Amino acid sequence: MILRMDRLQTELPKPKNPSANDAAAIQELLGGKFGEMSTLMNYTFQSFNFRGRSQLRPFYDLIANIATEEYGHIELVSYCINMLLTGVTKRDPNPVSGPLADAANFRNSYHTLASGQQALPTDSMGNYWNGSFVYSSGNLKADLLHNFFLECGARANKIRAYEMVTDPCARAMVGYLLVRGGVHIVAYAKALEKLTGVDVGKLLPIPDISNKKFPEAKAHEDAGLHLKLYQFSTEDYGTAGKIWNGPHPEDGQECKFEPLPEGYGAPVPDLEPEPQLNSPLDPAMIADILKKMQ
């Protein structure tokens, strides 16, 4: 079971320039083939389906902890999209003034026509995420190899999204996820090495650019965030440290498996209603409901 906290894994600054087209580009990191929905669902199914876990417990615990962290990643990318979309149309309950006129030029019209200016389970082209992106073969070596490749593909998309979108909200999100995704790449490399003896870490980084080139990622790595794999449970999934240990392949520092730190994460942004979309409701209706519930 998953226990939920009303926190974001890292703080997202308010966007300097809200932009529907930036939000559309960032959708790739949520519902694209290599997006966070894919990492979440791949590791979730692989952990549910893991056979022989009493013999291979550290591998099961590793995949299960990473799956849980990915839930927080889909949350983080979704909030970034929601924040980039806050302010892209006029906040006006009067339809006659055409408060959504600018939306006709947005490259993803679902952000207004099909939602209240919010994240959707789609890629950057508006294609819906689908379950065929999930690989859960039942063979541990094949699954780990797939996960390693999936994280490298995800990293390539993050780097390109960083290069496309310069807003500090998006860059804070991408910088953080480059570091955490980097942990997951190394974790799967270490798992493959434990399983086969092959030093997969020698392939890194893929693509061939260090996280330290991205100032928002470098700040987290300077604080040692790339060395920590977290136990997303107070009691369970505690043997992943049998895999997540030893030197980090890029800088040689010691990798540590740790419980979630005190005060983990940051407050969740509380976004204002968008009356031009009746999101969440007509303003007069909201006032009436609040009056009745008092």
In the complex, least distance from residue 211 CB atom to Mn ion, rounded to whole angstroms: 14
Is residue 39 involved in binding Mn ion (CB under 5 A)?
yes
Q: Which is nearer to Mn ion, 58 or 181 (CB)?
A: 181
Nearer to Mn ion, 111 or 155 (CB): 155
Stretch that binds Mn ion, among 11-19, 125-133, 177-185, 258-266 (CB under 5 A): 177-185
- Residue closest to 31 by CA, chosen among 103, 163, 180, 131: 131
Residue 226 as a binder of Mn ion (CB under 5 A): the answer is no
Q: What is the DSSP string of the chain?
A: -----S-BSS--PPPSS--HHHHHHHTHHHHSTTSHHHHHHHHHHHHHT--STTTSHHHHHHHHHHHHHHHHHHHHHHHHHHHHTTTSS---S-GGG-TTGGGGG-S-THHHHSSSS---SB-TTSPBP-GGG----S-HHHHHHHHHHHHHHHHHHHHHHHHH---HHHHHHHHHHHHHHHHHHHHHHHHHHHHH---GGGG-SSSSS-GGGSHHHHHHHHTTGGGEEEE-SSSSSTTGGGTS-SB-TTT-PBPEEEEPPTT-SBPPP-PPPBGGGTBSS-HHHHHHHHHHH-
Under the binding rule (CB under 5 A), the answer on residue 86 touching Mn ion is: no
Selected range binding Mn ion among 73-81, 204-212, 258-266, 268-276, rule: CB under 5 A = 73-81
Spatial distance between the Cα atoms of 148 and 187, rounded to a whole number of angstroms: 8
Is 158 a binding residue for Mn ion by CB under 5 A? The answer is no
Q: Give residue number: closest CB to Mn ion.
A: 73
CB 24, min distance to Mn ion, A: 20
Site string for Mn ion, 53-72 (x = CB under 5 A): -----------------x--
Compare residues 31 and 181 and give the one whose CB is closer to Mn ion: 181
Size of site (CB under 5 A) for Mn ion: 5
- Residue nearer to Mn ion on the CB measure, 34 or 60: 34
Rounded least distance, CB 152 to Mn ion, Å: 12
Q: Is 73 in the site for Mn ion (CB under 5 A)?
A: yes
Task: Say how far residue 278 (Cα) sits from the centre of its chain.
Answer: 28
Stretch that binds Mn ion, among 16-24, 34-42, 77-85, 167-175 (CB under 5 A): 34-42
For the bound state, the minimum distance from the C-beta of residue 36 to Mn ion, rounded and expressed in Å, comes to: 5
Between residues 179 and 192, which has the closer beta carbon with respect to Mn ion? 179
Residue whose CB is less far from Mn ion, 27 or 39 = 39
Q: Where does this chain bind Mn ion (CB under 5 A)?
A: 36, 39, 70, 73, 181
